[in-house]
Structure 1
Amino acid sequence: MKSTQNKYITVAYKLYATDEGGDRDMVEEAKADHPFQFISGMGTTLDFFENEITKLAKGEKFDFDIPVDEAYGMYIDEYVIDLPKNIFEVDGRIDTEMIKEGNIVPLMDAEGRRMNGVVVEVKEEVVVMDMNHPLAGSVLTFVGEVIENRDATPEEIQGMINMMSGGGCNCGCDSGDCDSDCGGSCH
């Protein structure tokens, strides 16, 4: 069996989420002209997704479901919490364009871990936040095609490490000033 470590893979896909009630919605699309790209073995994708995709060759099509427990887990009502409104203040004011119903807000816990929450409601003294992953409680269905599947270069692996550590972009530059090293083409 060949190793699936450190493969550079790009895929075009449509992602559908099916909730407990059976409602299915397309929630994301990565088109062939701007595919989703990752390097296997680096923990940047769901394990189930990576295991399904890495065994496919360039040009192969796929259509598979990821069960709730292998995706983002069950929706947990206790993860909807009230946070004091004042923690969202910057210079004594709340940015009402950022802190409004439906917006995803980056947060950090007491240990410095970053996470995102969705604003459910803004009340007089608290902001109600849903800390569940937006796809929690959903079966995920990926339908698409492998655009590329090859060994990753050392530069690509280092670029991914830099991006994951916050030390640069994912284009091979290492100075932190991606515009000058990459012609401003980093994203």
Structure 2
Amino acid sequence: MCNSLENRIEKNSAVLLHFTLTLEDGSIAESSRLSGKPALFCLGDQSLSDMLEDQLLGLKVNDKKNFTLPAVAAFGEKNPDLIQYFSREDFSNIGLPEVGAVILFTAINGREMPGIVYEVMEESITVDFNHPLAGHSVNFDIEVLKIDPQDGKKNENIVS
């Protein structure tokens, strides 16, 4: 259950905010400002890293904050076990993918997982199931719009 006391972000607060994520080279990885759609998060629901939640704690509506998180606290380090190799035959139903294509795969448990085609060779196709920002430290530029908003839906595609 999300709640808040004294109009400050606390451990179980729901927070509506705008954010821009930039990488080490200054490129924008994602921005709710550019899309015009703020993101709704509920602290304590395990969708955000502890270090990211710590940066939000205590902020009030209209507060702005800029901070950088290391890869491990943002989207994790690259995990070599999440790079998988497939035969070209595995793609016979959809055709040969191009490098950089994002394809949804169904895991053994039935869950869908996006994978990025990393390499297409004569015998095999390499697919990376790491988050695209894994292995990168990320700069967060945030602005708190509302705390415990009653409207809106949680954005599950943002920062995990």
Give 1:131 deviation, angstroms.
2.3
* 1:44 and 2:47 are equivalent in the alignment: yes
Larger radius of gyration: 1
Structure with the largest fraction of helix: 1
Deviation of 1:78 after TM superposition, in Å, equals 5.2
Partner residue of 1:115? 113
Name the structure 1 match of 2:33: 31
1:13 matched to 2:15? The reply is no
- Tell me which moved more, 7-16 or 71-80: 71-80
CA-to-partner distance for each residue in 1:30-86, whole Å, 9 max, x for gaps?
118421122222222333223322421110001111112212232344543321223
Matched residues in 2 for 1:38 and 1:106: separation?
Answer: 25
CA distance in 2, matches of 1:95, 1:37: 37
- Conserved? CA contact 2:100–2:117, under 8 Å: yes
| Structure 1: 5+ residue stretches without partners | 165-187
Provide the identity percentage. Answer: 24
Q: 2:128 aligns with which of 118, 127, 130?
A: 130
Q: Distance in 1 between matches of 2:88 and 2:57?
A: 45
Task: Return the TM-score normalized by structure 2.
Answer: 0.74
Cα distance in 1 for residues equivalent to 2:113 and 2:45: 20
> What's the RMSD between the two structures over aligned residues?
2.8
> How many residue pairs are counted as aligned between the two chains?
148
Q: State which of 8, 11, 23 in structure 2 corresponds to 1:4.
A: 11
Does residue 65 (structure 1) correspond to residue 68 (structure 2)? The answer is: yes
Contact 2:101 2:116 in 1 (8 A): yes
Contact 2:52 2:73 in 1 (8 A): no
Q: Which has the higher contact order (CA 8 A, sep 6+)?
A: 2
Q: Structure 2: give runs of 5+ residues left out of the alignment.
A: none
Question: Is the 1:54–1:149 Cα contact (8 Å) retained in structure 2?
Answer: no
Contact 1:79 1:130 in 2 (8 A): yes
Does the 8 Å contact 1:40/1:54 carry over to 2? Answer: no
AA of the residue aligned to 2:114: N
- When the two structures are superposed, what TM-score results if normalisation uses the length of structure 1? 0.65
Does the residue aligned with 1:31 lie in a helix, a strand or coil? helix
Give 1:125 shift: 3.5
Give the AA of the match of 1:4.
K
